[in-house]
Every structure is written in structure tokens, then in C-alpha cells.
Structure 1
Amino acid sequence: MDRSLRFFLNKFKQTPHSLRAVPHVNAPDDSCRCDLARLFHHYYVDTYGRCPPDPDPAHFEYARFLANRDDFRFAGDGIGVSTSARRNISTTFGQAFCRWFLHEHLNITYFAHMDAVLNRNLHRGFGNLSLVRTTKGDAPDYVCAEDVDEVFMAEAKGRYSSISFTNSEFATWRQQFSRVEVRDSRGQPRTVKGYIVGTRFTTEENTDSLRSAIYAEDPDSPGEEPLDSELAQTLRAAVVAQHYVSVFQKLDQSLIAAALASATTVPNQLQLQATVWELQLALPNMRFVGGYWPSPDGTLPFAIEDGRAIARPPDPFRLNAGRGTFFGVEESVFRQVAAVARFGLQRAADIRPLNDVAPFYSAISFLRDGTVIGPAEFFFPVDTISV
């Protein structure tokens, strides 16, 4: 299930290929499509520490507030009965759309919340780098990373009112990048590329011609010289580690999550066990470490007998039995991240994005960081491992 929305780009030297009207022409189209399962996926990992109210992407908690039409539009006059409620929900949605846009169209895979890394100049994960606040005021929302040595900052906005690259509010968003600096071992500020992604939401009360839209800008970033490859790899390693903190919290691997967050290591004498699952659809030869949350009356269509999982529907006559939702991470990625927690941040260089998988079912989402979410009955336990 997807929805369309418009987009506008500013200061992009090259239009991302996925946003071009004609692939070989460096000119943007006027709209794109958003897969709601992937949007939920970003929203979930960014917002919840563990289990959301309903972790099934097909039951995205805000999906019922979307108008029944092709474009992304909220029913009625939008979500929330008070100004503060509308503002909070818009902000959260804006962050989800920011992550979705950067992931889908700019190939950015890993995201760390700025407040998790800001002023951590003594954080062992940063080596000779420090990320410091220079003035009061709002800072960008994320430090994010692509592959190898590409590191960025990102600011997300979401609102019902109009957005324009030329208005004063957009100018204040640009100023947020001047309030933080990445400094090298000499204390010299280094340039880190930044993106602003603002999303304007529309409702059924707006005219049909006014559509939800993303406004993305590639602004100039402060700093005296760019990060060299070695420093960028150091910062990328810290971002990747922070990215997986919330993932491993959801996997109930609290010790690994704590080691990643604090840049410490797990003692070798502690062996950590996990269950490996296979998706019974569309992704052959891929295994995932994870588990499931049952729905309130949910049961799974298998049982454990003599240590083995046996397919067995709990009530073969009932058609409306609840199930559950699976969350996991691809097995090789799980092992690589566990190695970071075991041996130190230098092992984060081994972690690379997986190949993208196009959406293939509306209730399943798989991202390049290896995380997957979908109905529990589509996954089957096949093994246990120790790391």
C-alpha cells in the first residue's frame, strides 16, 4: 500500500535518479510514491524503544487517519484535537518522512539522534573527533551515514502550514547547522554535509490541488575544511553503532545495546543466545535474528516439540485468530554488530548496507540496515546461535 506526494528540491547539484522524470536527464519529476510499510518501519524504529501499540505495519497506528485516496492526505482536518497534539504528531511524522526520504532517495542507511552523540567529545567511539554545540537553540535532528566514509547531518520538519525555501522559517532551519560543529583533534571545525527535509501535510479540508509535499534542501555546511576519509570513517563507525542501539533493544539484546551506546565491550565469558528465523516468502537464503510480539489474543501457527518447531495452527477452524508481529535483523548483520559490542568500535567498519529489496507485500518491510518487520506467521524459527 502506498501513497503519492509531491516533492521540491533546492540546491541539489544532481537530482537523485529515483526522483528523475527521465533517468538520463538531470531534472526532477514532480511527485513520488511512498510505501506505507517502509514509512511505518522508519517511524517505529525512530520512535519506540521496544513494542509500539500495534507493531503490524498493516495496522500502522495512524493509517486509519489517512483519507481513502491516492495521495497522502489525512482525513478530516488532520490528527489531534489540540494545537500541541497536532504539533507533536506532525514533528514525529516529519522525522519519519525525513528518514524515509534520505533512505529511499539519497542512499542513507544509518541514523543516530543528535542528542545521543552531541557533546560526547570524551565518548571513546569518536576517537579524536568531537561533536559539540557552539550556541544555544535547536540543533539538527540526526547524524547519519551512508557507506564507507559518507557522513551527514539532517534536520526534519513536519507541519500542516505552508513551506517555502524562501520564507523566514526555512532560514531559521538552516541556522541549526551552525549550532553544532564536528571538531578534529586540534579543535578545528570540519565540514559535514547537511540536509533539510520538511514535509507539509494536507487534509481532506484542503483543496484537491493542494497536496502533501516534501521540501528537501542540500545547504552549505559550516566548517573550515571537509572531513578526510579517516576521520569520516571514525564518525561513521560511531553513527552505525548508535543506529543499532534501538534495534538491539527491540531484539531484547540489552547487553549488546548498552555496549554499543557506551562504546564499551561485552566480556568474552558471556555467551549471548538468539533465535534464527526464515521468512517463508520472497527472500530466499536470508535468515533473521529476532522474535515476535503477539496481538492481544494472538497465537502462532506452530508449536515446540522436542526442541523443534512444528507447524500447527492453534485452531484450524477459526478464521479470525490473532497472530503477532515479527521484528528482526538479518543474521550476518546481527553477527557483525555483536562483534562491535564484543571487540570494539573498530569492527563497525565491517558493517555494510545490504542490497535493497523492492517492496513485495504491503505488511512486510525490509531495509538496507538488515531490519525486517512483518506478520509473525510469515516467519519460522529454524536455529539458535551464540555470539
Structure 2
Amino acid sequence: MKLTAEETARAARFFTDGIKCLASRPVRLMEVCGTHTVSIFRAGIRQLLPATVELVSGPGCPVCVTPNEYLDMAIAYSRRPDSIIATFGDMLRVPGSQSSLMAEKARGADIRIVYSPLDSLVIARDNPGKAVIFLAVGFETTAPTAAATVLQAARQGLTNFFVLSAHKLVPPALKAILATPGTKIDGFLLPGHTATISGLEPYRFVAKEHGVPAVVTGFEALDILQGVYMLLQQLNKGEAELLNQYRRVVKAEGNPAARQILDQVYQPDDAAWRGFGVIAGSGLTLTPEFRHFDAKVALPPGTIESREAAGCRCGEVLRGLIIPAECPHFGQSCTPEQPVGACMVSVEGACAAWYKYGQGRWSYE
């Protein structure tokens, strides 16, 4: 049931006052998802919270965590005269080691923006003499759609459609964060959209094994305030549970139909993350039955030499170790118009959100 404006304001005051009462000691909470980060800024939530409650961004921006090696590989494919790159628009401006897809497109590479992976199949049918490579970047939310596209390509008998997969799973990244020495996270606001697919079970380890409370949270301002309130309630009681604030959307079992498609086409594999390195079992690769759609298998890219931009601290931002304003490039040599790192490119990137809404003014000093 949708709340009226008056009911929403009343609920917001209730949670805000409750948070102020509960926040008697400093706590550090991570909003895992980039959409949460943007919503927090857009709604002015940081200004509503007491100084004792610190919110830090996590690795929930798929474009941001995609390492330069993947981008350099996509760029290498784009330079092949027999290839067409199909990609979502937010990948175009992400800087690789020496170039970007936008720069390659300006030089004449055939790079096309699609709004669904299925659009790539139309391009493949219309260009039978070209290898059409879809850049499959995302988390559990978008991976089933890519899997369904592979199944459709198989049904249509397409032999010139390929996937360059960088799909990743969120829970292994959280395990990596919790296993990092010196990391202090008192609670997690977990992404509601990935839990819509996976359900709650993959996230139970956060509270059960590490004793850190976690709340699966929606994306409206009221959702986030309630999520923070639910975390502080647990911390004050000395409890650690996985709770579901987003019950109107997220079910405990998730979406079994989407997971069935995902399991049919993909299997877990080790994957490289920006800022983390390789995380075991955190990526998705095509199963043997569909391996012929894997661009790296069908069209070996050769040796790719990659490097990160000097001084860029995007990886530390993604691990919750620093806030964007602590990076020496932030707002100076790195802006949305001329990004140095991926975190300044995507609309879900923490650096882009801090720059757009805060201009580096917000700190916890």
C-alpha cells in the first residue's frame, strides 16, 4: 500500500528520531549498493543522521568493480574489423589502461549501445559476417537476462553472437570485505534487487558467521532510514541477524525461475574485482553446453597488458576503506567529465555521487 505524503513524512520522523536515540556510540554502516548511495545523497539522508552514524559505500556498482583487464579486452575486440561491440551505455566512458570504448568509437570502431541483451541478437542477425560481442556486466539482477539471451541465441542457431562475461555475485565480495584485516563495518544495508533474485540465504553468513547485523533494504528514502534503524536496534541489543526490510519485493526464496535459467547457462568461477583482486567463486562463466558463446573461448583475445591509473583509490572506496574525498584525484584531475577511475563514471559510482551531490564537502571528521 502506497503511503500518503503526510504518512511518509510521519514515518521518516519516527525513524530519524529513533536513529538519534539509538546512535549513542559511533557506528560504521556500509550501503553495499550504488543505487543506495545515490538515493542517500538525493534524499539528504546523511544530513538527517547524527554524527555518530557513518555511511560508507561498498562494491555494489557493477561498472566500478569491473577491472581494467576486462575493459582492455573489450577495447581489443572493438579494434577488430570483423567485430561489433554491443554494450550498455555506462561502459563507454570507463577508462581502461590506455583508452576507452568511447575513444575507440570516435576512432571508427563499431560499438553500439543496447538497452537489453536481446538487442544484441537483432544486431547479430542483421550482420551475419560480423562477430557481435555483448559486454555482459552486472550482478545477480541482470545476469538472468543475459542467460535468457544466450538460450535464445542457441534456439535461433546464431553462430556470430558471443558474450564477454563479467557477471559477478555480491556475497563473495562481502566475504572478502569481512576477511580484510583492519576493516570496520558494524552493519550492512544489503541490495534489495540482487536479493530479489537470490533470496536471503546467500547473505545469512554475514550475521551467522561474522556476527555483523545485515538488513536487505529497498531504495526509497524511507526504506533506507528504516534499514539504518533496524541495524541500530540490533547493535544496541548486541544481536546480529539478517532481516528483510524490503519484504514487499524480496521473498526469502528469491526468484526460483530466474535462478533456474541462470544455473542452466552459467556456473560460478573465480573472478577479478577492481580493488579486491581475484575473489573465489565470485564470477559467472558459461557452462560447457554454452561455452561456444564465450568470446574468450571462440575468439581468443591474446595477451592483454593492463594497469590501473596512478594514484586512483577507487578500489579502496569500493572496499569501504576510504570515502571518495580522500582520493587525491577526486574533484581535481578526476571529474565526471574527465574521469580517472571507474567510480567517477557510472551513475551508481560512489565518487560520481559524492561529486554530484556533495562536491567533497561531506566528511566524518
TM-score normalized by the length of structure 2: 0.29
More helix by share: 2
TM-score normalized by the length of structure 1: 0.27
More strand by share: 1
Q: Which has the higher contact order (CA 8 A, sep 6+)?
A: 2
